[in-house]
């Protein structure tokens, strides 16, 4: 399955999962869908038949509230049955709203409280460096998550220890829980801040698969970690959800659910350019 198809399926599953569960965070799921689609289709060296394989690439979704996107990607990659996605949020399910590794093949790390995932990824990258392993560590963080001080503690460490097997992706949709990032705690200029912290920073359109793939494949030989600032749109793919803070928490029900499904079905992955 190519990355476009996978990203489309993540969106379609995301709408269905948040509809069935009456759950939140569809805006974040749609925002990160292309990043996750490209990673799981083309970048991560992982094996559904051996989810714990020692030399696999590691992936952490630090913005755990978009966990449905990871569950959808893993199911589509064959880590567990796609039918199980319907149990998201349900009583007794292993698919919690925020991504959990407990009993879920393919999830390397559970998150949900923001500002945790990058430090853990840095620990994995340090361990890999000490043991001369060749696998890479990918961590997706949110822009609002950059309010957390631990993001910057981990960044300083990653640069100091030259953790060049670490790639951080910021899902930079410019919105957070209550309103726009710039109206909450100004991040600008975010790329310059991360550059100052020692990353090789790449600005890309976070919905353009070619740009994302180019960024993931861009080699650097200075030993520094890489940070991809993926400019995204919260709610991307369902027009009435795009850039609308309502859809951080609102669940698609009734006419809104029907309209979201119709728009996604009308604009299937085959219609995408990249």
Partner 1 sequence: MHLLTGDLGFGVLKPYWEQLPAQFTNVGIAEQNMTGIAAGMALSGKVVFTYSIGNFSTLRCLEQIRNDCAYHDADVKIVCVGGGFVYGALGMSHHATEDLAIMRALPSVTVLAPADLMEAEAATWAMYKQPGTCYLRLGRGGERRIHDKLTDFRIGKAIKIKEGKSVAIFSTGAIVDEVLESVTLLKDKNIDPAVFTFPTVKPIDEDMIRNCSKEYERIVTVEEHNIIGGFGSAISEVLAEIPTCEKAIQIRIGLNDTYSCIVGSQKYLRNEYGMSAARIATRIVDCY
| Binding-site member from 44, 120, 146, 187 for partner 1 (CB under 8 A) | 120
Structure tokens at 152: 């910057």
Burial 57-71 (b: 16+ CB within 10 A, else e): bbbbbbbbbbbbbbb
45 binds partner 1 per the rule CB under 8 A: no
Beta-bridged to residue 201, according to DSSP, are: 227
50 binds partner 1 per the rule CB under 8 A: no
153 binds partner 1 per the rule CB under 8 A: yes
What is the distance between the alpha carbons of residues 272 and 33, in angstroms, rounded to a whole number? 14
Region from 20-28, 83-91, 152-160, 181-189 binding partner 1, contact rule CB under 8 A? 152-160
Beta-bridged to residue 225, according to DSSP, are: none
Please, what is the Cα angle at 217 between 142 and 32, to 5 degrees? 25
128 binds partner 1 per the rule CB under 8 A: yes
Contact between 169 and 190 under an 8 Å Cβ cutoff? The reply is: no
What is the distance between the alpha carbons of residues 198 and 192, in angstroms, rounded to a whole number? 10
DSSP secondary structure, 78-129, as one string: TSS-GGGGGGTT-TT-S--SS---TT-TT------STT-HHHHHHHHHHHHH
Closest to partner 1 by CB, 96 vs 244, is 96
Q: How many CA atoms lie within 13 A of 67 on its CB side?
A: 26
Least distance in angstroms from the C-beta of 78 to partner 1: 23
Rg (CA), the chain: 17
Closest to partner 1 by CB, 30 vs 44, is 44
| Binding-site member from 118, 146, 170, 233 for partner 1 (CB under 8 A) | 118
What is the distance between the alpha carbons of residues 110 and 103, in angstroms, rounded to a whole number? 11
What is the distance between the alpha carbons of residues 167 and 62, in angstroms, rounded to a whole number? 13
Region from 71-79, 115-123, 204-212, 227-235 binding partner 1, contact rule CB under 8 A? 115-123
46 binds partner 1 per the rule CB under 8 A: no
124 binds partner 1 per the rule CB under 8 A: yes
Region from 74-82, 109-117, 171-179, 231-239 binding partner 1, contact rule CB under 8 A? 109-117
Closest to partner 1 by CB, 41 vs 146, is 146
Closest to partner 1 by CB, 133 vs 193, is 133
Structure tokens at 257: 């659910």
For the segment 157-216, give every residue that binds partner 1 (CB under 8 A): 157, 161
| Binding-site member from 45, 53, 127, 192 for partner 1 (CB under 8 A) | 127
Least distance in angstroms from the C-beta of 69 to partner 1: 20
105 binds partner 1 per the rule CB under 8 A: no
| Binding-site member from 125, 202, 230, 264 for partner 1 (CB under 8 A) | 125
| Binding-site member from 82, 126, 259, 274 for partner 1 (CB under 8 A) | 126
């Amino acid at each position: 399955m190519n990355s476009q198809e996978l990203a489309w399926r993540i969106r379609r599953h995301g709408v269905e999962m948040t509809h069935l569960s009456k759950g939140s965070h569809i805006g974040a799921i749609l925002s990160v869908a292309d990043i996750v689609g490209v990673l799981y289709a083309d970048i991560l060296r992982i094996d559904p038949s051996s989810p714990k394989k020692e030399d696999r690439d590691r992936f952490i979704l630090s913005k755990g509230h978009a966990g449905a996107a990871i569950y959808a990607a893993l199911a589509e990659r064959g880590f567990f049955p796609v039918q199980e996605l319907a149990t998201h949020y349900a009583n007794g399910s292993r698919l919690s709203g925020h991504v959990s590794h407990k009993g879920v093949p393919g999830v390397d790390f559970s998150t949900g409280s923001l500002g945790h995932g990058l430090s853990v990824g840095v620990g994995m990258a340090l361990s890999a460096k000490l043991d001369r392993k060749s696998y890479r560590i990918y961590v997706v963080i949110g822009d609002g998550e950059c309010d957390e001080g631990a993001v910057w503690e981990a960044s300083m460490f990653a640069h100091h220890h030259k953790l060049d097997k670490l790639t951080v992706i910021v899902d930079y949709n410019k919105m957070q829980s209550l309103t726009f990032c710039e109206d909450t705690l100004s991040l600008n200029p975010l790329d310059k801040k991360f550059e100052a912290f020692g990353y090789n920073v790449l600005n890309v359109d976070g919905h353009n698969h070619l740009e994302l793939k180019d960024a993931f494949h861009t080699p650097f030989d200075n030993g520094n970690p890489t940070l991809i600032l993926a400019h995204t749109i919260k709610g991307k793919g369902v027009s009435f959800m795009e850039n609308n803070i309502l859809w951080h928490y609102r669940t698609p029900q009734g006419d809104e659910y029907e309209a979201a499904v119709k728009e996604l079905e009308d604009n299937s992955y085959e219609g995408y350019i990249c």
